[in-house]
Amino acid sequence: MDRWNSTYLMLEAAEKFETTFDRMHEEDVQFSSYFMEVDGNGKQKHIGPPKGEDWVNVIMFYNFLWLFYEVTLRFSGSLFVISNTYFCELVGIQNEFHRLCGIDGDPLLKKMAQSMKEKYEKYWGDIENMNLMMFIAVVLDPRYKMKYLKYWFNKWYSKEKAECALKLVRDALDELYAHYAKSTKLSSASGNGQATNVGSSIESSASFPYDPWKIASHEFDEHIATEDDNECTTDVDKYLNEASEKNREGFDILAWWKVNSTRYVILSEVA
C-alpha cells in the first residue's frame, strides 16, 4: 500500500507540470536534443520526453490510485472512530477491483488492477484469515448490522462460502456476548449478595414456618432467572431483527450506543 501511495503522490506532483513539459519541448532546443542522444549501439540513451499518451496514462493511474490513498488516510486517522467503517472501506476497494478487472477498457489499467488484486487477496481474500472483530464492528453499527455483510458476501462469494462466513461472524458475536453476559452476572451477584442474605434472614424470622405464597413466588423467581439465562443471546437477535438506522451524514455511533445502553445492557458493553 505504501508503494501505491508513493506512486500516487509522484503522479499527483507530475501532473501539475504537463503544460511545462509541453512548452519546454516546443521552446527549449537543448531539452529536446537531450532525449535524442544515442549510445554506441545506436539506442536511445534517455526515455522521454512525456507525450500526450503518457499524460493520459498519468491521469488514468492517478484517478485509480486515489482510492487507495484516501483509504490509507482514513485508516491512519486518529480523530474519529474507524473500526466500524473499516470493512466499508474494503468494500469500495473490492468493488473497484471487480469493475476494473472485468471491463474491456484500457489493457494497461486492467493488467495493473489484476496485479494489485492478487496482492490484495493475499491479505483480504479469505475471511478465515481475517480478524473477525472487523466484521463484528460492522454488525454493531446500527446502520449496517448483519444485512450489510450478507449483501456483500453474497455478491463476492459462492452461496456456501457466504453462509459459512456469516456463521463465523455470528458465532464470534454470540461468544463475545456470552463472555460479557457472564462477567456482568458475576459482578451483579457479588454486589447484591450480601444485601439479599440480610433481607432473607429478617424476612424469615418474621414469617410463618410454612408460607405457600412465598414458596410460589420464589419458584417463579427461579423460573424467570433460568429463562433469562436461556435468553442471553436473544438480546443479540432483538438488535439484529430491528430496523437499521438511516445512514445519515454525521451519524455518531458512540452516542447511539450510549442512548440505547439501557435497551441493550450487555451488547452495549460489547460495542
Give the amino acid at 28: D
Does the pLDDT of residue 16 top 50, yes or no? yes
Band (78; pLDDT cuts 50, 70, 90): low
Is it the case that residue 54 has pLDDT exceeding 80? yes
Handedness of CA 248, 137, 74, 112 (dihedral sign): negative
Where does the pLDDT of residue 77 fall: very low under 50, low under 70, confident under 90, or very high at 90 and above?
low
Mean pLDDT within 13-30: 85
Q: Is the pLDDT of residue 145 over 80?
A: yes
Name which residue leads in pLDDT, 206 or 72.
72
Q: Tens of pLDDT along 159-192?
A: 998 899 999 999 999 999 988 888 776 555 555 5
**Is it the case that residue 92 has pLDDT exceeding 50?**
yes
What is the predicted pLDDT for the residue at 171?
Answer: 92
User: Taking the model in full, what pTM does it have?
Assistant: 0.64
Of 12-21, 26-35, 195-204, the poorest mean pLDDT is in 195-204
Mean confidence (pLDDT) of the chain: 78
Q: Is the pLDDT confidence value at 256 over 70?
A: yes
As given in the structure block, the three cell numbers for residue 75 are 485508516
Q: What is the mean pLDDT of residues 9-19?
A: 88
Percent pLDDT > 70 in the chain is: 76
What per-residue confidence (pLDDT) applies to 157? 83
Query: pLDDT at residue 226 above 50?
Result: yes
pLDDT in the model for residue 166:
92
The CB-based long-range contact list for 230-237 (8 Å cut-off, 24+ gap) reads 232/177, 232/178, 232/181, 232/266, 233/174, 233/177, 233/178, 235/177, 235/264, 235/265, 235/266, 235/267, 236/173, 236/174, 236/177, 236/267
What is the distance between the alpha carbons of residues 170 and 146, in angstroms, rounded to a whole number? 8
Residue 231 scores a pLDDT above 80: no
Residue 218 to residue 214: CA distance in whole angstroms: 6
Q: Are 85 and 74 in contact (CB under 8 A)?
A: yes
Confidence at residue 242, expressed as pLDDT on a 0 to 100 scale:
87
Q: What separation in angstroms does the CA of 183 have from each of 95, 177, 194, 199, 271?
A: 40, 10, 18, 25, 15
Q: Is the pLDDT of residue 7 over 50?
A: yes
